[in-house]
A and B are shown apart, each in its own frame.
Chain A
Amino acid sequence: MASVTVSHVNKSFGEFRALDDVSIEFADGGFYALLGPSGSGKTTLLRQIAGFSFPDSGEILIGGEAVESLPVEKRNIGMMFQNYALFPNMSVFDNVAFGLMVRSTPRHEIKARVGEALELVRLSGYDERKPHQLSGGQRQRVALARAIVFRPRVLLLDEPLSALDKALRLGMQVELKRIQREVGITTIFVTHDQEEALTLSDKVGVLKDGKLLQEGPPRELYERPATAFAATFLGDANLFEGHVEEGELALSDGTRLRATAPLAGVGKATCAVRPEKMAIAEKGEPLRADHNHLEAELQEIIFAGNSLSYLLRRGDIHLRVFAQNRATAELQPGQRVRLTWRVADTIPVEA
Chain B
Amino acid sequence: MAVSDTERSPTRRRQPSNAKSIVGLTGPAYLWLIVTILLPLAAMLYFSFLSDVPLPGRDWQVTLSNYAAFFQEDFYRTLMLRSLRLGFEVALWCFLIGFPCAYVLAKTIKGRWREALFLMVIIPFWSNALIRVFSWTMVLRGNGMLERLLDWLIPGFGSLNLMFTYEAVVIGLVHSYLPYMILTCYISLSTIDDDLIDAARSMGAGRLTVLRRIILPLSMPGIVAGAVLIFVPVIGSFMEPRILGGREGTFLGTVIEDQFTSVFNWPLGAALSFILLACVLIIFAIFQPILRRAS
A residues with CB within 8 A of B:
50, 52, 71-74, 76-79, 81-83, 85-89, 98-99, 102-103, 146-147, 150, 156
Contacts and interface: CB of A to CB of B under 8 A. Distances in A.
B203 interface: yes
The SS class assigned to the B binding surface is helix
Most buried by B among A52, A74, A85, A146: A85
A87 B213 CA distance: 10
Contacts of A83: 193, 195
Contacts of A103: 204
B200 A98 contact: yes
B193 A150 contact: no
B204 A150 contact: yes
Nearest to A78: B202
Given A73-B206, A98-B213, A102-B209, A85 B201 contact: no
A85 B205 contact: no
Contact of A73 (B193, B204, B213, B218): B204
A147 B195 CA distance: 14
B35 interface: no
A34 B245 CA distance: 66
B196 interface: yes
B198 interface: yes
B214 A87 contact: yes
A79 B198 CA distance: 9
A98 B218 CA distance: 16
Most buried by B among A76, A77, A98, A147: A98
Nearest to B216: A89
Most buried by A among B201, B204, B209, B218: B204
A89 B218 contact: yes
A218 to B, nearest CB: 27
A102 B195 CA distance: 18
Most buried by B among A52, A86, A88: A88
B214 A102 contact: no
Contacts of A147: 202-203
Contacts of B205: 73, 98, 102
Contacts of A72: 198, 201-202
